[in-house]
Amino acid sequence: MKFNLKGKDKKSSARAGEIITDHGKIQTPIFMPVGTAGSVKAVHMKDVKDDVKAQIILGNTYHLYLRPGLKVMEQAGGLHKFNGWDRPILTDSGGYQVYSLSDRRKLDESGVVFQSHIDGSRHNFNPESVMDIQRTIGADIVMAFDECTPYPCDYDYAKNSMEITHRWLDRCITHFNNTEPKYGYSQALFPIVQGSTYRDLRKISAETIASKNAEGNAIGGLSVGEPHEMMYEMTELVCGILPEDKPRYLMGVGTPANLLESISLGVDMFDCVMPTRNGRNGMLFTKNGIINIKNQKWMHDFSPIDEEGTSFVDTQYTKAYLRHMFVAKEMLGAMIASLHNLSFYLWLVAEARNHILKGDFSEWKNMMVKKLVQRL
């Protein structure tokens, strides 16, 4: 994997770059649609590729390990072959499930025992097994095993958790370096900064992660309920420490406004379930603000979903029709909304990139953020 910087904004830390993987190039800043269980929910891969114009998508170690399981994954020849996505893939390590499934797992120095949300069976995840699983899934970018700490999180817990994550990182790096890719293309390992909302911990963590000289670095443990300002503060602090010549990935973020603000702080990569999950639940993101398509006010609105949108669904269908799909619980509604939102997210980051290269990112960002948060 390679990362080349292509340009920088003058008034902020925003930058435009290019990540080169064996499955193709990724132009940063980039948003990566989440495909937890091997699919971007409710969207055909064809549309993820041609309509959304996604350049890289996610998969999830915990979920894919439990279902379909490693045997199937290996027989398929890896996730790319299995789901038909021939561009880059990044897999999360299961570190988020340490947080989201905290009531059904036990964590200690050695790793985490999860009790499956599917059948209750117990499964041991540790830095070594998580590297092995991600080798088998075959993502281009694999994440270190970490604990995504909750918010709020007391200092002692955050410090101890961060230190465990750091020790796990060393084990991940060792095991990763002692193993080989299984399908003939290279994989990169990204470590993850933790430290909750404590500046001193974030600083220590960022310095620790930076010292590993990885091919890219991630910021975790944010967007878990803390105020936006706190998230930006931590992101800014960490971006100032992580190496400039490596991509920075802010995990789990976020709203369209979160993306633009974080890009201005120097983040290159994002992923979030928001465009798909909120889309399935009737929320549409547009350049002019947020639409709750289930609201009665759209009942008689026969204008296109988004006249300025880049997806074919934006002009193919009307607001009144899409609302009807949701009210009638037709699955096409979730499909249309997911596709629209993802297309919008990818348009947004592509536009951000254009403005960075053009040199007027900050002005554009400030203008956009005001519009993005409006309720239509």
Binding mask 62-101 for RNA (x = CB under 7 A): -x----------------------------xx-xxx-xxx
Is 92 one of the catalytic residues?
yes
Report the nearest approach of RNA to the CB of residue 309 (Å): 19
Is 301 one of the catalytic residues?
no
d(CA 3, CA 43): 29
CA dihedral 51, 91, 61, 94 (to 10 degrees): -110
Report the nearest approach of RNA to the CB of residue 362 (Å): 21
Distances (CA, A) of 59 to 18, 33, 90, 142, 217: 21, 9, 6, 10, 18
* Among 29, 254, 266, 309, interactor with RNA by CB under 7 A: 254
d(CA 267, CA 235): 8
Segment 38 to 67, residues that bind RNA, using CB under 7 A: 40-41, 58, 60, 63
d(CA 35, CA 285): 19
* Among 48, 64, 89, 274, interactor with RNA by CB under 7 A: 274
If one asks whether residue 218 binds RNA (CB under 7 A), the answer comes out as yes
Report the nearest approach of RNA to the CB of residue 157 (Å): 14
- Which is closer to RNA, CB of 301 or CB of 360? 301
Q: Do 162 and 205 touch, CB atoms closer than 8 A?
A: yes
d(CA 259, CA 105): 31
The catalytically annotated residue of 9, 51, 268, 271 is 271
d(CA 61, CA 68): 11
Question: What are the tokens at 369?
Answer: 């953020």
DSSP 62-112: HHHHHTT-HHHHHHHTSHHHHHT--S-EEEE-SHHHHHHTGGGEEEETTEE
Question: What are the tokens at 59?
Answer: 């998969």
If one asks whether residue 276 binds RNA (CB under 7 A), the answer comes out as yes
Residue 292 carries which DSSP code?
E
Segment 127 to 166, residues that bind RNA, using CB under 7 A: 143, 146-148
The catalytically annotated residue of 92, 140, 268, 306 is 92
If one asks whether residue 212 binds RNA (CB under 7 A), the answer comes out as no
Residue range at the interface with RNA (CB under 7 A); choices 2-10, 74-82, 154-162, 280-288:
280-288
Q: What does the binding site for RNA look like in residue numbers (CB under 7 A)?
A: 34, 36, 40-41, 58, 60, 63, 92-93, 95-97, 99-101, 103-104, 117, 143, 146-148, 192, 218, 220-221, 223-225, 228, 251-255, 258, 271-274, 276-278, 280-283, 292, 294-297, 299, 327, 329, 331, 334, 375
Active-site residues: which are they?
92, 271
